[in-house]
Chains A and B, each alone.
Chain A
Amino acid sequence: MARRHWDMAFTNSAIGFDYPASAYTLMGLAGISGVAAIIGGGIFILVTVSSVFFGKRLESESIYGAVPTRLMKAEPIVEPAGGHAAAGKWGFAAPGTFIFALFFLAVFVIYYAINWKYLASVWPMS
């Protein structure tokens, strides 16, 4: 699909091209998804801007004139008994994250394979 073209049907073009019907379905889905994303962005702007002007008041206040303090090095990390690995599983400090990483790796491999498969189909090597 031409990424920026105004008309995917190329109406009245000197050189025509027909996309398969599935392309129209997918672009329809893209349109619906795009509008949903824009509504989300609009809500974000609305919420933040209205929070600024009409948000619930916080009771605390501060005035200029404070003496800034120095940023000190962090305290040593307090580890749970037995170390982080003991709080995790199978010797991993963050086993859930590791599972996520493996899942995303699998998705990545699948997409990669599909992409190369499609590329190979339009790019004959014989």
Chain B
Amino acid sequence: MSTEQFRICPESGLQFHKPAETLMRANAVLAVVILLIGGVAALMVTLTRWPAVHLLPADRFYQLLTSHGVNMLIFWIISFEMAVLYFCSSTLLRCRLATPRIAWLGFVLMVTGIVVNNLAVMNGDASVMMTSYVPMPANPNFYLGLILFAVGALLGCFVFLGTLVIAKEEKTYEGSIPLVTFGALTACIIAVFTIASGAIILIPTYMWSMGWINHIDPVMYRLVWWALGHSSQQINVAAHVSVWYAIAAIVFGARPLSEKVSRTAFFLYIAFLQLASAHHLLVDPGISSEWKIFNTSYAMYLAVLASMVHGLTVPGSIEVAQRAKGFTKGLFEWLRKAPWSNPVLAQGDVRGPGQVATVSVWYRHGGLFHRHDGRRHPGCGAQTLGHGVHQFGHRL
């Protein structure tokens, strides 16, 4: 493998493959731009739902609600996800990224999809909200944009999986993949399911909007659509839980209490989290009670169990690491003496919005905006990571 393409961040010790690093930057920047657009829409929506303000007229409200939903819950999350996947494969496994050109093709498709979809919404004839329930019609470009984005994101997932294959082939790591990469793999598997579900329902819906087919069954639409709408949030869940483990390792030098338990919990996400999409259909007619009850109770509880496991093991591993450093006074000295001035901790381990944590660890521990011309290195901020940095020297 060519060494021309690698650099080692002197602050964090992380090893970056040049094409992967550029792609991480591009995807993360895209994600933050989308976050801004979705955030502005959120402000307008909030100021309208606040009864004393009630800012927007009805048509504008639904238009911005659509923009907010699609941008925040699909475009921002999945765009950032691509950056996380490239990081967790190429950087954490210290290998080259598979097929960077295909990754760029995926990126271009995603950007095109975002633009096409947003233009359709801005045009005012696609105010169908994120769910776009049929038979409510939208401008065909609304669906087309989502489909293009989905295809692009799917390419990104395959690049991630290909990179895992390269790392295995080239033996760039010992033993099994690290826990954080395992969590990213979970996110990737859920992403493939999510994106494929989106394509399965949105492609016929696009054809329907073009007049090529004349009927989409509303119950089928809602059932399959929620495999996209719900699961797209679960990509985020798996990714940000992975980032929690990363933050625990980076900031505290913590090691998982039990890798087996944590990995099993990730597996529970793969097996059960998607079934919980049924809870969006609880009051829908046309779907049997047995189906609703199975999916929204027994199956969903197993997914909830997984989150409770992570919720216990991440702070638990931090407490153990802190106690090992001597913060053993009382029950909570380990927490009081945590590095609260470090925004990575504040945003990640105090259960801030997961994606924010994701971005935070990104900006902080190097790579994204590290300029290697010696002028400015705002991204390679491992000084804020302190003693935990060496953990990357081993494994997460």
A residues in contact (CB < 8 Å) with B: 4, 6-9, 24, 27-28, 30-32, 34-35, 38, 41-42, 44-45, 48-49, 51-53, 55-58, 60-75, 77-80, 84, 87-89, 93-97, 99-101, 104
Contact = CB atoms under 8 A, between A and B. Distances in A.
B153 to A, nearest CB: 22
B297 to A, nearest CB: 13
Contacts, number: 198
A32 B50 contact: yes
B67 to A, nearest CB: 14
Interface in B22-61: 32, 35-36, 39, 42-43, 46-54, 56, 58, 61
A55 B51 CA distance: 40
Nearest to B45: A34
Nearest to A88: B323
5 contacts: A34-B42, A45-B35, A61-B377, A74-B394, A97-B319
9 smallest CB-CB distances across A and B, nearest first, come from: A31-B50, A55-B378, A34-B46, A58-B377, A71-B173, A87-B323, A60-B10, A74-B394, A94-B316
Interface residues of B, number: 81
B39 A84 contact: no
A64 B380 contact: no
Given A31-B52, A68-B94, A84-B323, A44 B356 contact: yes
A113 to B, nearest CB: 17
A48 B359 contact: yes
Contacts of B6: 64-68
Given A75-B394, A96-B332, A62 B7 contact: yes
B11 interface: yes
A72 B174 contact: yes
A57 B377 contact: yes
Interface of B: 1, 3-11, 15, 17-18, 32, 35-36, 39, 42-43, 46-54, 56, 58, 61-62, 65, 92-95, 129, 171-175, 178, 255, 257, 311-312, 315-317, 319-320, 323-324, 328, 331-332, 334-335, 347, 356, 359-360, 363, 368-370, 372-381, 383, 394-395
A55 B335 contact: no
A41 B172 contact: no
Contacts of B315: 94, 97, 100
Contacts of B334: 96
A34 to B, nearest CB: 4
Most-contacted residue by chain A among B368, B369, B375 (CB, 10 A): B369
A21 to B, nearest CB: 11
A64 B51 contact: no
Contact of B58 (A6, A31, A72): A6
Contacts of B379: 52
B36 A35 contact: no
B32 A45 contact: yes
A82 B279 CA distance: 48
Contacts of B324: 78-80, 84, 87
Contacts of B347: 44
Nearest to A74: B394
A56 B380 CA distance: 11
B92 A71 contact: yes
B394 A42 contact: no
A107 to B, nearest CB: 13
A69 B15 contact: yes
Given A57-B377, A87-B328, A88-B323, A67 B3 contact: yes
Nearest to A36: B46
B51 A8 contact: yes
A80 B323 contact: yes
Contact of B36 (A32, A45, A60): A45
B380 A58 contact: yes
Contacts of A6: 48, 56, 58, 61-62
Contacts of A80: 323-324
Nearest to B14: A62
